[in-house]
Amino acid sequence: MDNPRHYFLWDARSFLLCSVVFSFLELSLCCPKECSCEHLLVNCTDRQLEEFPSGIPMDTRQLILTHNNLTYLPSVDLNLLIDLVYLDCSHNILGNSLEATFIAMPLVYLDLSHNNITKITSATFYLLTSLVVLKLSDNPNLEEIEKDAFANNTGLRQLDLSRTALTYLDVTTVSELPSLRTLGLSSNPWDCYCPLKDLLKWVMESDIYFTELRKREHNQIQPKSSRLVDDDIIVLGSVTSM
């Protein structure tokens, strides 16, 4: 019992055990120095980050990178986070189309609002088949969303495209999303988005002679024979804002 050799053995074993336990703890407790971590949530809010933080635990489920200066998301690092369901990258300066950025994550919530994304292609989100909430609002240079950009995101319930540079959106891009409940489209520079559009279409196709409907300067609108030119549409369009 009092054999020193016995004590030594016990110590060696407990030391080993401790090291193993400690390694495990370290593995799950490690946290990027710029961030705070707790319960599978890594929070790196407002740290002036210009690079994606390294050392994010691989079992992270929620990652918050809002209010930083990230210009891109490194696909390899990001896709190591195979349990990530919630990603907030709002208020950064992410650019381009983010193609090939999101590959292997089961993301349900993705916030990319307030960035500098210019285009969404059919290859941007096509592997995010679990997506339920997608925020793309306030990307002032977002000019194009390809027709089948969300074709694979059939679980999408909330989509925000407000305050971008979109002038056009093919109706099937959103009309064929079976789960969609909330759609933000406000404050975009839509081309010919005005409630008079249907009236104008009818005016152009009608045989009726419109006596009072005059162009700003002189010419009377002559439906069918002389089609409405862009000027007319602008004049009529401005009526709606009065």
Ligand X SMILES: *[C@@H]1O[C@H](CO)[C@@H](O)[C@H](O)[C@H]1NC(C)=O
Binding site for ligand X (CB under 6 A): 43, 45, 48, 50, 64, 69, 93, 95, 116, 118, 122, 126-127, 129, 141, 148, 151-152
Partners of 139 in the beta sheet? Answer: 164
CB of residue 121 vs ligand X: minimum separation in angstroms?
10
Q: Which is nearer to ligand X, 74 or 206 (CB)?
A: 74
Listed in sequence order, the residues at least 6 apart from 78 whose beta carbon sits closer than 8 Å to its beta carbon are: 52, 84, 101, 102, 105
CB 96 within 8 A of CB 75: no
Q: What is the rounded CA–CA span in Å between residue 120 and residue 123?
A: 8
CB of residue 81 vs ligand X: minimum separation in angstroms?
17
Counting DSSP H helices and E strands in the chain, the numbers are 5, 12
Nearest Cα neighbor of 71 from 92, 88, 90, 89 is: 92
What are the backbone angles phi and psi of residue 160, rounded to the nearest 5°? -120, 115
CB of residue 67 vs ligand X: minimum separation in angstroms?
8
CB 156 within 8 A of CB 131: yes
Question: Tell me, what DSSP letter sits at residue 164?
Answer: B
Q: Which is nearer to ligand X, 166 or 221 (CB)?
A: 166
CB of residue 37 vs ligand X: minimum separation in angstroms?
10
Query: In this structure, which amino acid lies at residue 128?
Result: L
Q: Which is nearer to ligand X, 99 or 148 (CB)?
A: 148
Nearest Cα neighbor of 188 from 133, 228, 145, 235 is: 145
Q: Which is nearer to ligand X, 35 or 78 (CB)?
A: 35
CB of residue 151 vs ligand X: minimum separation in angstroms?
4
Q: Which is nearer to ligand X, 109 or 126 (CB)?
A: 126
What are the backbone angles phi and psi of residue 43, rounded to the nearest 5°? -115, 110
Q: Which is nearer to ligand X, 141 or 222 (CB)?
A: 141
CB of residue 150 vs ligand X: minimum separation in angstroms?
10
Q: What is the rounded CA–CA span in Å between residue 184 and residue 174?
A: 11
CB of residue 45 vs ligand X: minimum separation in angstroms?
4
Segment holding 80, helix H or strand E: none
